[in-house]
Chain A
Amino acid sequence: MTTPAVHLKSISKGRVRWLEPLIHSGLGFCTLISIITTATIVFVLAKESFGFFQEITPSEFFFGTSWVPMFKPSSFGVLPLLWGTLIVTFGAALISIPIGLASAIYLSEYASAGKRAVIKPLLELLAGIPTVVYGYFALTFITPALKVVFPDLQVFNALSGAVVVGIMVLPMIATLSDNALKAVPDSLRQGAYALGATSYEVTSQVVVPAGLSGVMASFILAISRAIGETMAVTLAAGATPNLSFTFLESIQTMTAYIVQVSMGDTPAGGVAYQTMFAVAGLLFVITLTLNIISQWILERYREVYQ
């Protein structure tokens, strides 16, 4: 008995092969679009910022304490904007990190499967609300509520901005940290329980440390998001560059400034127009750095589970 002869030609019979190269390049082109976009944005930011720094010295920009770009005598110290961003972000982190981590621990370690199935989608829903809605929520609800506690509160104020941004990034911390804790293998929990530990000891001393890299990364991503947040913060915190240590007055963040310039009638080409790119460039560098750090933490401290 002989094996039948193999006809290699028959394998490709009836299948269109000439499309393959087209599909290959078509898919590649789609990927290229986002790469080109990113490169263009970076190029425009760099070019306009370069133009800006031809007029204004970097030391005035980075160390100047007064930001008056539109009127004479103008000054271009970015510190008040940086400070505005910093206190809003700091306040937001102060609110969102403890509550977010606590929610993540509850969801991952304490909630029953049924409760988790309801709560987690709700949290994710919170992340889908348009930020401008949060902004009006801050103006019409948070600020009046805070005014009861702090009668000196201005209509636009840093505190309200910090609170609303904190609420906004809360679901991000909760869901990302929950994922990180859920990824800790059950065998570690069992090993810890078998040593006569209580739920709280197992959670705080075994599960959270084991999932710490993911938890830290979620914090940094949330902070990065808070720094880049625009609409809610513009609506809640106002547009007054302010270098004083106060949560009760109006401030201006870097993003809020960019909104102000892009919406106003600043003529294209002048120094005032270029400030927008210099500030955006700085913002880009800060958030990029934070994202790189969070990636690095994830890589560096990734636990090699058994």
Chain B
Amino acid sequence: MRKNGTAEVVAISEDERILGIDDVTICYSDNPAVKNVSFDIARNKITSIIGPSGCGKSTLLRSLNRMNEFISEVSLKGRVSFDGQDLYAKSVDPVEVRQHIGMVFQKPNPFPKSIYKNVSWGPTVNQYDGSIPELVERSLKQASLWNEVKDRLNDSALGLSGGQQQRLCIARALAIEPTVLLMDEPCSALDPISTAHIENLMYDLKSRYTIVIVTHNMQQAARVSDYTAFMEMGNLIEFGETDQIFTRPQEKRTEEYVTGRFG
């Protein structure tokens, strides 16, 4: 275990590392939302970022595929690397970044199109050269939605339930065959059964994808993730194996948070 600023941070070996967050500070105008955060994301693992509302966890997540760029006056200092390459280098095209690092949002946001088109749109604009119908079927199966929608692929996606819509959004993200999947509180708008569905799904997806999930639900982080980062007021307090964070936290703040004494 190495000491990083004031935070306890477990090191991820270079072979395992897929995303590197190195001394990252993110500001809205002049207000820092994320302050000097450093930790790594391990390949084919689930990493969760937890912390109280407004701690900067979503902002940090959105910096991993440059989705913050749609908010004006956001600036990032430090380095985010993907397979060793600087994601924010001048020569890097953010469109290409997002083709490798997909995202699922807090509220299901299917396009007002058919179920089929929701999934096929991404690969179509990305000029996928295989069979798109097969890809759509595979993605819907991976998102364990296929059996529920296979007979009504041409119906509007807006007719699905909230949980189904969120799995559709996951299928849509998987269809561009990303390496990393970012999930921003993907279950916060869902009922417990749909949540269980998506948690099982994440477990199944782990063999093929790296998942980073932001959640305010500590039980969820404890259940699904291999690594957990705890943030508070823009600072990383502790990062380590989930087991250790929840049973033997090194920092007092972490312990207070995971045992429910604040937050």
Q: Do A and B associate with each other? A: yes
Interface residue ranges, A against B (CB under 8 Å): 112-113, 185-198, 201, 205-206, 209-210, 303-306
Q: In the complex, which of the residues B96, B108, B113 contacts A196, with contact meaning CB atoms closer than 8 Å?
A: B96
Report whether A190 and B111 are in contact in the complex, using a CB–CB cutoff of 8 Å. no
Q: In the complex, which of the residues B110, B113, B165, B173 contacts A194, with contact meaning CB atoms closer than 8 Å?
A: B173
Closest CB of chain B to A246's CB: distance in Å?
44
- Chain B neighbourhood of A194, CB < 8 A: 65, 67, 98, 102-103, 105, 173
- Chain A neighbourhood of B169, CB < 8 A: 191
Starting from the known contacts A191-B111, A304-B112, A306-B108, 8 additional A-B residue pairs (CB-CB under 8 Å) come to A113-B72, A188-B112, A191-B109, A194-B67, A194-B98, A197-B95, A209-B112, A210-B111
Report whether A196 and B122 are in contact in the complex, using a CB–CB cutoff of 8 Å. yes
Q: In the complex, which of the residues A185, A189, A205, A303 contacts B125, with contact meaning CB atoms closer than 8 Å?
A: A205
Measured CB to CB, the nearest residue on chain A to B104 is A194
- Chain A neighbourhood of B138, CB < 8 A: none
Closest CB of chain A to B223's CB: distance in Å?
25
Give the interface SS of chain A, mostly helix, strand, loop or mixed: helix
List 5 tightest A-B contacts by C-beta distance, closest first.
A196-B99, A195-B122, A187-B109, A194-B103, A196-B98
- Chain B neighbourhood of A186, CB < 8 A: 70
Question: A206 to B99, alpha carbons, bound, how many Å?
Answer: 17
- Chain B neighbourhood of A185, CB < 8 A: 109
Kindly state whether residue B167 has any CB partner on chain A within 8 Å: no
Report whether A188 and B111 are in contact in the complex, using a CB–CB cutoff of 8 Å. yes
Measured CB to CB, the nearest residue on chain A to B112 is A303
Measured CB to CB, the nearest residue on chain B to A206 is B111
Count how many pairs of residues, one from A and one from B, have CB atoms less than 8 Å apart in the complex.
79
Closest CB of chain A to B98's CB: distance in Å?
4
Given contacts A193-B98, A196-B122, A197-B122, contact A306 B107 (CB under 8 A): yes
Interface size class of B (residues with CB under 8 A): 20 to 34
Closest CB of chain A to B242's CB: distance in Å?
26
Report whether A195 and B176 are in contact in the complex, using a CB–CB cutoff of 8 Å. yes
- Chain A neighbourhood of B172, CB < 8 A: 191, 195
Interface flags, B216-249, vs A, CB<8A=1, else 0: 0000000000000000000000000000000000
Closest CB of chain B to A4's CB: distance in Å?
43
Kindly state whether residue B126 has any CB partner on chain A within 8 Å: yes
Q: In the complex, which of the residues A187, A196, A205, A206 contacts B105, with contact meaning CB atoms closer than 8 Å?
A: A187
Kindly state whether residue B28 has any CB partner on chain A within 8 Å: no
Kindly state whether residue B146 has any CB partner on chain A within 8 Å: no
Report whether A201 and B125 are in contact in the complex, using a CB–CB cutoff of 8 Å. yes
Q: In the complex, which of the residues A193, A197, A209, A306 contacts B110, with contact meaning CB atoms closer than 8 Å?
A: A306
Kindly state whether residue B158 has any CB partner on chain A within 8 Å: yes
Question: A47 to B110, alpha carbons, bound, how many Å?
Answer: 54
Kindly state whether residue B121 has any CB partner on chain A within 8 Å: yes
Given contacts A195-B172, A304-B158, A306-B107, contact A190 B98 (CB under 8 A): no
